[in-house]
Structure formats: C-alpha cells, structure tokens
Structure 1
Amino acid sequence: MLPRSLSARLMLATLVALLAAATAAAAVMLMLRTSSLEDMVREELAEEVVELREGMRVGADGAVTLELSPEVGNVYAAMRNDAAYRLTDQHGHTVATSQDGPALQTLSALPAGAPAMTVAAPDGDVHLRVADAAFEHAGRTYHARIARSDRLVATLKDHASKLYLRAGAAVVVLALLTFTAVIYFIVNRMVRPLRQASRVAARVGPRNLGTRLHSEGLPSEVVPLIDAFNAALERLEQGFRVQQEFLASAAHELKTPLALLQAEIELSGAPNTALLLRDTAQMARQVHQLLHLAEVSEGHNYTFAPVQVRSVIDDAVDYLSRVADQRGVDVLVTTEGAEFPPVEADAGALFVLVKNLLENALNHAPQGSMVRIVVEPDRFHVRDAGQGVGVADRSMLFKRFWRGNAKDGDGAGLGLAICMEICLSHGWSIALSADDGAPGACFVVVTNTAACSAAGCRSTATGW
C-alpha cells in the first residue's frame, strides 16, 4: 500500500528508481564476472600488450627499457611459472624480457604462432596461453610475445571482482544514504508551500470565511485545486452573509409589530389578556435573542480588550438580582486562586455569556436553593442545584431552539447556543462538566486559549 503522504510517495518513487538502477548495474557486473576463462585470458593478454607498448622506452643508443607499473612488474617477478614476456625487434633480436624462469624459458623455445604452452612445475603442469602482437615505436617495428597461465588470470580476476563488489556495495550504500538525505531535504522544501496552505485552510471557519489561500510557490498541478477551494469559500461566505443579514433584518423588523401588538392587547381588555401578553413576551424574547445570535456569530462585531472576568460576573449577578429574588434563589460568587490576570475579550459579549448561563441556572434552580459561581484564573463554573441534565438531553444542550424543562417554560432555546458562539469567537471552550456526584448542572467556561488549544478541548455538551 502506498503511503498517504505526498513527500513519502515522492521519496519512495525515487528510491525505487535508484534501487532499480543499482540492480541493473549489479547484473551487468555479474554478467561480466561470468565470462568464460578463455575470454578472460584473451582480454588479459590484450591488456598486457598495451602495457608493454606504453611502457617501452628507447634510448639514443637504441637500447630498449620497459617501465611497467608496479602491479604488472610484480606479477612477472613473483609468478615466474605463470607469466612471462619477450620483446624482439624487427630483426628478431631480443630487446627485453621478464625475469628468467620456467615460463620465460618455455616461451623462448616455443615455435612461432603457437597459441599455448605447458610449463612443468613441482605442484603440477601449468597451462599458459600465448599472445603475439607487433607494433610500431619510434619508427621501428617490435614484436611482443606474452604468456599468462589460466590459474593466474582466474585468481586475479576473482580477487578483482571481490574488490569491485565490495567497493561497489559501499558506494551504493553511501549513495543511497546521501541520495535519501538530499531527496528528503528537496522534497520537504517542495511541499512546504503546500503545508502552509493546508494550515491556512485548517483555520478557516464561520468567523473568518474571508480568508483565502495563496498559490504562490505551489506546484502548478495544485493551483487549480487552490483556486477551486477559494471559489467555494467565496460562495460559502456569500451564502453565510445573506443568511446572517436575513436573520438580523427579520428579527429587527419583527420588534416594532410585536411592540404594537402587545400595546393593542393591553388596551383591548380581552378576557385572555394575560395569556396573550405572555405569548407576545415570549415572541419578543425570541426576537431579541435572534438579534443577539446574529450579532455574536459575526467576528467583526467584537472589540477585544483586557477584561477582568470577576468584575463582569459581578455585573451580571447584579443585573439578575431581582430575578433571583423573585425565584427565591441565592447567588454566591467565590474565587479560587491567587492571581487573576485579565483576559482578551469583548466585555459586552462576555457579559451576555455570563448572563445567559446565570439566567439558565436560575430557571432550573429550585426555590430556596443556591446558584454557585466559582472563578478561577483560567476558567469559571456556574452550578445550579436543580435536577441536572439527563444523559439523553446532553447532546442537545447547545442546539438552537432546543429547550429543556425549565420551571417557567418561557425560554427561547437560544441562550446556550449564544454562549457557544461567544466562546468559539474568543477561542474559549464551554462544556457541561462531567458528573461529579453533586446535584444540578455545572457549566464550565475555559478562558485560557493557550491551555485550551494545548489540551485540544472544544465546546461540547458532555464534558472533556
């Protein structure tokens, strides 16, 4: 199975190609190594003729000397049963020979044109092949006669093959490591713009639909995909804007007719005036919360500044103090911690967040009970002493227009949805705390964006 990463695929393809090339080179070397012994000896003799011709030096007096490489000269000196040469001029006079030995003696006595000869040795007869060649040097013709044994050529070729294979293996391994490092560096630089575009795309959300991806530095094959993604964002932004504008406009336009309808009901003197006024009040509350929802869903409506959370909570508690008195519920605010640094927030939105949570707690708290608000340096808790939230209802808590079983039943079902929108816009998290055995429901708002991001928490109905 191919890896999912584009970088890994490119590196894998390159390494496979390199391994295929190395395998082909090894196969060629193996084919050369499996040549017949006769062919190897013939090639060796041809190379020796070239060595003699290139190493020959003729002095001013016509004397001939041979300057052979140490490797070649040492073979003739050490292997006198297996190697010999004899160089003659155009008149048949010997001008240079290898060191005296059985091979040279047999070569000197060998008839002209003989392709092979045998040398008697203590460990058995040695079979040598003979090569004759004539060449020109300094205007004169020379004749070279060279003999090499089969066993010498086979031994030298085998030793050379092993050296070549070891050196080749080392070179291949080093080349693979170097090639892998270079390819890894190059591929990473190639896909870096793609990773940057992916990070930008991951940050796109309902509150920053105006973000667009840039195609500079990206491969040409990816540019159409980026353009298509930007076009989709454009359409999505337009649709979201139209929806929000419609929501705000509809809610705003409904406020005046509802106010007139409420006034007409109050003046009509109908027998069911109280019931009608209650219905119109609930409709007005829903319209008011729709306007709030439209406002908090747009990121440009926020003005961020350092805000002390405790002071905003105190304002919200004071604002709802009459509601708490009417319901016979006490509100207690406590702090835990030594330092309470300010948080970057929109003070108005934070007030609405605390007010909605506190109002929700008051709606569900029994008469004579207490709502507790605990403020910590990076979060705050709002707990009531009511019946709590059933397991089946927890997934619905933050859905719009869903209402629990509040005592008065006049909720619009948008309070917690507005809380979630505010938290998302600030990079905070809101959650129903996990069941700790205490009565009622406890909502926790984490205001430390760094800690929330590191922990990977998000707004949820079931806790972290």
Structure 2
Amino acid sequence: MRSPSLLARLVLAITVAELIVLFLVWPSVTILVTYLGLAATESNTVWAEFHAIEVIENALRKDSDGSVHIEATPALRAYQARNPNFRFAIIDERSGAALAGSSEELARVLPSGGAIISIKTYFRISNDPDPDARGVYMRMTTPNYSMVIHGYALHPEDLIAVMRAHTDIAQLVPFSPYVVFAIIGSWLATRFGLAPLYAAKERLAKIDLSSIDQRIDAAKAPKEIAPLLDAINAALARLEDGAKRQRRFTANAAHELLTPIAILRARLDAPNEPGFLSDLGRDMRRMQSVVEQLLVLARGAERGRLAVADLDLGALARHIIADYLPLIVDSGRSIALDPPAAPVIVRANGQALECMLSNLINNALRAEPLGGTIVLRVGPDARLEVIDHGEGVAASEQDLVFEPFWRRTETTRGAGLGLSIVKELAEKQGGGVYVTQTPGGGATFGLAFPSP
C-alpha cells in the first residue's frame, strides 16, 4: 500500500496544528496570561466559572417526579474547600423557589421577571469585601432551572474544565466551518508551495536514456526545495556519465571482437595455407582473452568487494616470476626480483592478485626494449611495483591508461583492457593502482594493499 502523499501529510499536519492552537494553545495561553494579571480583562475569574458551573451541574440529581435536588458530592465539597467564599443558588423557574442548599442572598439577586428574560448575566455584589469577587447568572441545561454562582477563584486545576468546555460538541459545531476553511486553505497554500516539486516530477517523467542530458531548472525553486533539485540534477549527471561509459564500453568491446573475428573468417577461407592450425589457435586464444577480460570487468561491476585473506607479497612475486620465466626468456628479455628484507603480509584475494600481476607483467613486456630487464619490487609498505624501461607514460596519460580500451595509438598491441582490470580488482580489495616515471626512462606500475 502506498503511503499518503506529501500534500496530504502537510495539509493534515497544518490543519491539526491550527486546531490545536485554536482549542488548546490559545485557551491555555489566554488563561495563563489572565492568571498572571497580564491580560486586559477586569478579573482572572472569568476562566474560573467553567469549573464552578461544571461542579454544580454534576451535583444536581433528578427525582422521580422530574424535579431536582442538590447533592453534596465529594467534588462540590472539595471545590468549596478550595474556595471558602464560593456560594451558589439553584432556582426552580416554575415556582420561583430556591432549592435546598442554595444561598438565600444570591437567590434574591436573580432577575424577577419582566419583559427582559436574562440568559446569562455577570454581576458584582456591592460592598463585597473581596473587590475581585464576581458572579454569573445563567439558565441551566436542565429545563426550568437557573443558576447563580459567586465567589469562585481561578486555580490551576480549573484549567482542565476550561479545556473540556472548549472541546465540547456545542463549541466544536460552530467552528466546523473554520475547520473546513482551514483544510481548504492549507491545501491551497501547500499545493502552491509544492508547485516546483510537481513541475520537477513532470520533467523527470519525460527523461529516459535518450534524453538523460536534460536537467531540472532549480533557479526559481524555493531555497528549501532547490537543494533537492540540485541533488537530482547531480544524480542525472552521474547517470549520464555512466550511460556514456556503458555505450563506449559496448562499442569498444564490439570493435575489439570484430577484428579477430574478421581475421578468423579470412583464415577459414584458406584452410590449406601452411600454419593454418597454429594461426587459428592463436586467433582463438586472442578472442578468448578479450572475452575473459570483458567478463572480469562485467562481473566486477556487479559484485561488491572481493573476499580477501592474508598473503605474502614476496612469495607471490616469486611464484609469478617462475610461471612467466619461459615466456620472458623467449621474448628476448629478462626479469629480476627486488625482494623485501622480511615477509610483507597484505590483505588481498589470491586469484585476483595473480591476474593483476600477470596483466602488469604483460604490459611491461610490451614496453621493455629487447634485451632489457623487467624488475618486480616488493616494498615493506605493502606495495608491489612492476618496472619497465620503455617509452614511459606521459603525465597527461597517467589517468587515461586505466580506462577500458584506451590505447595510445591504433597500432598499440592489446585490447586496452589489462590495466583497467587491474584498477577494478585493486579497488574491490580496498587497495589501489598507480603509475609513475621510472628513473632514467620507462614506467613503474604499482599496487598498494591494506595491511592486516
């Protein structure tokens, strides 16, 4: 199930906040300000009447004949204890008589009829010892009865009754139009504020791989939304770069495979030529090498970090030299090992490390002049370097040599995948690869690994 929209969430949050302010925060602050004597009202007792009226109404009990009487409930006794000057009177409007327990003095101040029928009246008693004492006369919700109270004072516990009065259904119904307008107003304001996001959504919906170069205009967006749109544009830029790399990879892979396939087809047209089988085998090995290296790159893009273990760099270098020695000798070159003074243990994947070192040696063999010597150096700082004395790598090309299919010229031998595979595998083991100039001429390719 989809979560609610941001617009619905904001409208709900704003509406709830407005209602909380209206029915909770505003009364609380008003009461507090009045209680502290900071309000413009004449007396802070205006908020005390809610609890007093509630206590009296809850003390009324109906008799079997429909009349009522006042019961001295625990709440009434507690309220009178907190307010020693509190008095009340309940009048039966049918007979004009005050119920038992009413204050006779207050009963006499009730309106005595006439053309004007009072519904709710506030009053003071002249010569009252307490100048802040107030009273209120009102018709009760109980039919045919009126109430007058006097001498109530505001206490902290009275605030709960004020809250209940403000959330009563009789109070909420008149405010229902306000609630409706609050929802509509919140929706309109939020919809206007989110307009840039809706525009960005429409723009994003039209972007695909063929139009990934498009961007969202964040210049006119609010400052709260602009960083999000900038982040989306940055993500689109990264996706565009990745798509371009993928297209270059696909094109270069097709190009690299096209040449040996064309050569192979040409050879198949002349199967009787001398050396046909040996040439065929060489062409197949070249195609296999290109495909295997493409698979290494593809799998590397899918997988995370490679599993690593503790390995001795010096022992691995000796093993690789022993494997490559016949090939190096046949090529008219030699190889030397510059070993460490003590074992150098690194955290690496054995098979990946052999593949990386093999690629670096093959690269050095192509660069090393005839009769020259390739050097494998194992450093105590968890580094393994393959040194040749060829043309070297210019500073402007030291980053390019690790790009897939990059070759200095079209006549450069190889598919241009070996060094990119070395970089890919090194990074997946938490290490790195670098290239520097060999003193006296040539290139030094190095591998750096994390120590245990």
Per the normalisation by structure 1, the TM-score is 0.49
Kindly indicate whether structure 1 or structure 2 has the higher relative contact order, using CA contacts under 8 Å at least 6 residues apart.
2
Per the normalisation by structure 2, the TM-score is 0.50
